[in-house]
Structure 1
Amino acid sequence: MRGTRPVELLGEYRARGAVEAADVERARGLLGRGADAWDRGTPLHFTASALIVHPESSRVLLRWHVRQQAWLHVGGHGDPGETEALAVALREGVEETGLTDLAPWPDAALVHVAVVPVPASTREPAHEHADLRFLLATGRPDAVRPENPQSPLEWLTVAQARERTTEANFRETIDRAGSLLEERRR
């Protein structure tokens, strides 16, 4: 598997559309900061996430995010010393869903880049995430377990997931997953 550090991922990545192109350029602007680009104390920093899919049923897994007040995907911040975006997305996926068989799907390619606003909390000011998004698959969808009662998980069709989320950038991620799932069914 090729490396999944942001410099490698963004160096070869091609944005789809003007909004993503602007987000990719902002994300590329972080590259000179090295590991510091993952520092959650900065106003814009990398995060890594994934939309989990079950290819056999063409369903996707959404998670309720209390802070964002939205149904989204899994993912988050790199831990100190983590620099591989896919490893961050996999770790977060296991932590947030209990699924231990997660694997990149259909490969380890970056599927979407989005700069997303994060509201202030009692612990940190408002900031932005340069989110590097992947698709991860499970073969055991019934093994899913939320990490806490405030963060339920739901398996949905692509159409249901589009309706459930309120975030336009995440609908784009869902659409990209839907296209790949559809290709697989052909």
Structure 2
Amino acid sequence: MATLRAWDAFDDQQEQWRRELLAHLEVHPGAMWKQGPPQHLTAGAIVLNQSLDQVLLTLHAKAGMWLQFGGHFEPEDRSVHAAATREAREESGLADLVLDPRIVELHRHRLLAAGFGRCEEHLDIRYAAVVPDDAAFAVSDESLDVAWWPVDALPPESAHEIAPMVAAALRLLG
């Protein structure tokens, strides 16, 4: 977790989550895996169009809401960035998607929807990517839909989570 240790949080909340994630990983080295503790480390990605005025979101099958791409680690993932890249590629259908190597933000959230098994909370490390405005995305098995959303008209049920991530991505990429 050298990347997380070296990451410069951009506000007090991000710094608090950074410290909490590092402490959790010290106590629970298996937190990256689904069979680990109920609080899982996860990797995510926000995908923006080249004009930076739209964000590609997935209608998550388990959560039932529009969210960024992301999920749990797999044994072949050699880093958090690799896990975020794999998840974003799988869920968006953008096979050549390249994520910026810098962490965009951290997020910690309880899982309220049924269907997440023993996983009660995600400790998410998020990255960002920019793709052409006409990028050909596809719906995966984990999604009900994938669609572009204007950054100033996000889905109401998840805008409180997506808007700060978009702002963090724009700050990093701009």
TM-score (structure 2 length as normaliser): 0.84
Matched, 1:171 2:163: yes
Aligned length: 173
Could you give the per-residue CA deviations for residues 93-148 of structure 1, whole angstroms, max 9, x where no partner exists?
111111112112xx310000111111363561351111000002223644111114
CA-CA distance at 1:83 after TM superposition? 4.2
- 1:13 and 1:110 in contact (8 A); partners too: yes
In the other structure, the counterpart of 2:138 is 145
Structure 2 gaps, min length 5: none
CA-CA distance at 1:33 after TM superposition? 5.6
In the other structure, the counterpart of 2:126 is 133
CA-CA distance at 1:37 after TM superposition? 2.5
Q: How many Å separate the matches in 2 of 1:102 and 1:72?
A: 17
- 2:62 and 2:115 in contact (8 A); partners too: no
Q: 2:25 aligns with which of 27, 31, 34?
A: 31
CA-CA distance at 1:71 after TM superposition? 1.1
Q: How many Å separate the matches in 1 of 2:129 and 2:116?
A: 30
CA-CA distance at 1:9 after TM superposition? 1.8
- 2:60 and 2:142 in contact (8 A); partners too: no
CA-CA distance at 1:48 after TM superposition? 0.4
- 1:101 and 1:138 in contact (8 A); partners too: no
- 1:101 and 1:140 in contact (8 A); partners too: no
Percent of aligned positions that are identical:
24
- 1:35 and 1:81 in contact (8 A); partners too: no
Q: How many Å separate the matches in 2 of 1:140 and 1:157?
A: 12
- 2:104 and 2:172 in contact (8 A); partners too: no
Q: How many Å separate the matches in 2 of 1:51 and 1:86?
A: 13
Q: How many Å separate the matches in 2 of 1:116 and 1:57?
A: 26
* Mapping for residues 151-162 of structure 1, pairs under 5 Å: 151-161=144-154
Q: 1:45 aligns with which of 28, 40, 45?
A: 40
Matched, 1:117 2:72: no
Distance 1:139 1:122, change over 3 A: closer
SS at match of 1:78: coil
Structure 1 gaps, min length 5: 1-6
Q: How many Å separate the matches in 1 of 2:115 and 2:126?
A: 27
Matched, 1:18 2:12: yes
TM-score (structure 1 length as normaliser): 0.79
SS at match of 2:144: coil
Q: How many Å separate the matches in 2 of 1:158 and 1:98?
A: 21
Q: CA RMSD in A?
A: 2.5
Structure whose residues are more often helix by fraction = 1
CA-CA distance at 1:167 after TM superposition? 5.3
In the other structure, the counterpart of 2:50 is 55
